[in-house]
A = this chain, B = another copy of it.
Amino acid sequence: MFPKNTWYVAATPNEIDEKPLGRTVCGERIAFYRGAENKVAAVQDFCPHRGAPLSLGYVSEGKLVCGYHGLEMGCNGKTVAMPGQRVGGFPPIKSYPVVERYGFIWVWPGEPTAADESKIPVLEWYDHPEWAYGGGLYHIACDYRLMIDNLMDLTHETYVHSTSIGQKEIDETPCKTVVEGDSVVTSRFMNGIKPPPFWKAALRGSNLPDDQLVDRWQICRFTPPSHVMIEVGVALQDHGGYDAPNDKKAYSVVVDFITPETETSIHYFWGMARKFNPKDKALTATIREGQGKIFAEDLEMLERQQQNLLTYPDRKLLMLNIDAGGVQSRKIIDRLIAAELAAPAPATN
């Protein structure tokens, strides 16, 4: 179960620049492509003629052309033309509200009439001179909520990422979880500690010394349906920690868009927006590579955890204080799903 009347990140723009992209979001098979005036479009990945996947076709003059028999599909799900055919009576396929913004393709897999572009979260770092961004995409065979749990409880860094961002102090420092309307914030502040290897490198990238004690912070923010933005950083000790001036800290935001593919698989868009040394493209590449390795460490754990949960479906899991972020996030998700189920069913085809 997932909320469907909401925006999910479906792809990055480069994925649809050359040819259409077939991708399943919340159980919906969707063909994404650039239609008229290069504007992104999204329709059911099912040709109304014979059921071929439209994503195997190509785009011609803004229309998605089926690669099997040349049916031309419009971005509204209505067939525009087909060689030698009158297409007026062809049954429509679903089309999906879709927006290109902030370097992502956003799709609304639910009831189209409810789609509201203003609800797309604002990514302040996008195209901003003080920020730099790098990221990637992983496919992981787990329930999207396991990834939310993972990101809302960073004590796992001590164990899963022990050689890069993990350190014993994460475990030893209590976190605090606050629910603010539909968002959940779990924060942890560690002062006067040694920076772990990833942050040593970030300090060097910020032209700061890496051999001094630092204050470190982690502020995880969940917003529906399944976005987790994590403010992370270190400041040289005794300069104000999180509030230290920019030239005394390395500050960035871990970006996590978790898009359900099926009940037990996700498209995981991860990245890091940093507010230090933004013009250094080599640093962006280095950080992206390092983060990619770190996040790959979660893959096996989450997939094996998912298999274990499927094997023991009746086993109750614990909900400790460190799990509060995930627990509260799931409550919000459950409430949104319940609200959708209670609403009148939209017309589908």
Q: Which residues of A contact B (CB under 8 A)?
A: 29, 45-46, 48-53, 56-57, 65-70, 82-85, 90-91, 149, 153, 155-156, 158-160, 171-172, 174, 300-301, 304-305, 307-309, 311-312, 315-318, 320-323
* Residues of B contacting A305 in the complex (Cβ-Cβ under 8 angstroms): 50-53, 68
Pair A153/B56 contact, Cβ less than 8 Å? no
* Residues of B contacting A321 in the complex (Cβ-Cβ under 8 angstroms): 84-85
Pair B51/A159 contact, Cβ less than 8 Å? no
Pair A84/B301 contact, Cβ less than 8 Å? no
Q: Give A57 to B304 CA distance when docked, in angstroms.
A: 12
How far, in Å, is A88 (CB) from chain B's closest CB?
Answer: 12
Pair B301/A153 contact, Cβ less than 8 Å? no
Partner of A308, one of B46, B65, B69, B156: B46
Pair B84/A172 contact, Cβ less than 8 Å? yes
Main secondary structure of the interface of A (DSSP, over half): loop
Partner of A51, one of B65, B317, B320: B317
Pair A308/B52 contact, Cβ less than 8 Å? yes
Q: Given A46-B315, A318-B90: A52 and B155 within 8 A (CB)?
A: no
* Residues of B contacting A69 in the complex (Cβ-Cβ under 8 angstroms): 153, 155-156, 159, 322
Q: Give A311 to B85 CA distance when docked, in angstroms.
A: 27
Partner of A312, one of B51, B309, B316, B323: B51
How far, in Å, is A309 (CB) from chain B's closest CB?
Answer: 5
Q: Given A68-B156, A318-B90, A322-B84: A304 and B29 within 8 A (CB)?
A: no
* A to B CB contacts below 8 Å, 24 in the list: A29-B311, A46-B308, A46-B312, A48-B318, A49-B320, A50-B323, A51-B305, A51-B308, A51-B317, A52-B305, A52-B308, A53-B304, A53-B305, A56-B300, A57-B159, A68-B156, A69-B155, A70-B158, A83-B155, A83-B158, A83-B172, A84-B171, A84-B321, A85-B320
* Residues of B contacting A29 in the complex (Cβ-Cβ under 8 angstroms): 308, 311
* Residues of B contacting A312 in the complex (Cβ-Cβ under 8 angstroms): 46, 51
How far, in Å, is A147 (CB) from chain B's closest CB?
Answer: 12
Residue of B nearest to A85 (CB): B320
Pair B70/A155 contact, Cβ less than 8 Å? yes
Residue of B nearest to A89 (CB): B318
Q: Give A105 to B48 CA distance when docked, in angstroms.
A: 39
Pair B50/A149 contact, Cβ less than 8 Å? yes
Question: A50-B323, A52-B305, A53-B305 provided; 5 other pairs, C-beta below 8 A?
Answer: A46-B315, A57-B159, A67-B301, A84-B171, A84-B172
How far, in Å, is A92 (CB) from chain B's closest CB?
Answer: 12
Q: Give A300 to B56 CA distance when docked, in angstroms.
A: 9
